Every structure is written in structure tokens, then in C-alpha cells.
Amino acid sequence: MRSVLVLALVAGVTLVVIRPSLLLDRLPGHHAEAVSADASPLPAETARPNAAPVARAGLPDRAHPFRGSPAERWASGADAIELPKAKAVGGMSKADVALALRLTKEFLVGTNLDPAVLRGGQPTAAMALLDPKDPDTLPELRRALRDPDERHDPLDLVSRFDPDEVAPVGDVVRVRGCITFGAGKQGEVRVHADYTFVYPLVRADGDGSVDRHRSLGMPGDGRCGTTTRT
């Protein structure tokens, strides 16, 4: 699955894609809701890879589902999504840029790492971040979740699995990629995220052998990236 989403935070209280009230909710004095290995993790990615990752020895099992995969050395979960240092850009303050970065991470977590969502649940927390006035993103996602077809595929934005077909092996998800940002139009910061998420799965009606599924979320602008072979 490969999806594209650019989150744009505009000066003042107007947000493109992100719900406008979130800016006020997270200003000082308002309530802010926190987001909540077998091998040594690789350092965070800061540049686009120039070669495929090297496979490791061994076959996966339930106790070691990432064995034999380059993702065995990737960091896990939300902590693997490291935010760059915020700075003022495009007429936006450092604090506004930091907010845009945090919201991007929250969206990635809500659509690719929430255990309930991965098991087929609704990405309620992530959908609450989307601007209801945007004419495309939120209505299209609701339509895709309600009645998916070839033109309306929830996997364009959300990683989820049919529990009748597969089951995740535990709650550990390996993650690799990076986030970058830059100026958009005046008074706007554009955030790009390029990440690969690797999920260990077993078939619901199979022999229990472990397979790995790769999901690529929110590809960026070429300044950082991931290869996807496991």
C-alpha cells in the first residue's frame, strides 16, 4: 500500500486537511492530549537509501517474527517516528511548525500503528485530525471505510487487515523512514512523511507460519525514504 497525504498548517487558525480547532486546542492554556528487539536498532534515517537493505540469516517464527528481515534492526512503534527539529518557515513560527510535525506523527500512529485499527477497526483518532471542511480527504476516507471498492480503498491511507484472513503476531511493528518540512505558500508549512511499516502476520486458517507485510505511508519529497524489501 502506498499513500500520499500532505498536511499543511496555515497561519492563524486555518488548517488545510488538519482540523482547524486543533490549533486552538493545543495552544498554551488549552488541553493537549498526549500521543501516546531482537537486534540493536539502526540509527534514524536521514537520507534516501541508495541500495536495498541486506537480508539477515534465519527464518521467522512467532517468538522471532522479524528474523531474516532487514526490518529486524529497525526501531519499533511510535518511538521510531522521530520528528525533525522545528524552525520558523514560510511565515510560520517555530511553535506552529512543531505543532504541524506533532499532528503528522499522530496521524501516522493512528493510521498505521493503532492495534485496534490494524485488526480492522475504525481509525477514529486519525480521522478526528482531518479538516471536515476539506472537500476530498475526509469524505473519501469515510466512503472507503464504509463501502470499499477499487476506486475507494481505505488502504490508501490506513493500514488494516481482515481478521478473517490474517492475524498480527503481537503488537510490535517495525518502522523506518523520516519526516521533512518546508515552506508552502506564504503562511504555510508543508510536512512530508516517508515511512515503511512492517507487520508480522499469520493466516487465520493456516499453519501458523509467519509472513511479513509492508505498508508504505505518506511518501515524501525525495529527501528521505525507505526501501521495502524484507
Count of Cβ atoms closer than 10 Å to residue 165 Cβ = 12
In this prediction the pTM is 0.71
d(CA 37, CA 130) in angstroms, rounded, equals 33
pLDDT at 121: 92
Q: What is the pLDDT of residue 22?
A: 46
Query: What is the reported pLDDT for 10?
Result: 33
**CA 3, CA 33: separation in Å to the nearest integer?**
26
22-35 tens-digit pLDDT: 443 443 333 333 33
Low-confidence residues of the chain: pLDDT under 70: 1-58, 207-230
DSSP 14: -
Give residue 187's pLDDT: 82
Read off the pLDDT of residues 163-207 as tens digits, 9 standing for 90 and up: 888 888 888 999 999 999 999 888 888 999 999 999 988 888 776
Amino acid at 80: A
